[in-house]
Amino acid sequence: MILSTDYCSINDLKENVSMKIIRQFYRNIFAPATSIDLATIELEKAKKAFLEAKTHTEFYAAQVEFESIRIKRLEEYVNIVVEARELATNPLRQTVAPTVRVPVKKVPAAKKVARNRVK
């Protein structure tokens, strides 16, 4: 408790109280962080880094899948074009095995069913 007799005037008392408030405010703002505060800040940074890395992982996994499908499609196209060119330049080369005819069974035509009309 502050006694008014400790100070020469009321103004000195007001100045001392306001300075104490300013000092306390300054200490609260600019005081070094505690270990719990530092751990909390580091935890938040780690969570953000984890989410960012997970996002990158999902993105690059989708990109790898897309590129593999694209490679397969382009390889098929290039193989078809190369075979067509080789066939055009060398007609003696057979790229396709000769076709074997499969005998087809003849199926009798279905009988037409007369429908009775009700008048």
For position 12, what pLDDT does the model report?
65
For position 76, what pLDDT does the model report?
94
- Name the DSSP class of 91: T
> Which residues of the chain are under the pLDDT cut of 50?
1, 119
Structural Rg of the chain based on CA atoms: 45
Residues 5, 7: Cα–Cα separation, whole Å: 5
Domain positions in the chain? 49-93
Q: What global pTM score does this model have?
A: 0.43
For position 78, what pLDDT does the model report?
93
Please give the backbone phi and psi of residue 106, each rounded to the nearest 5 degrees, phi first: -85, 130
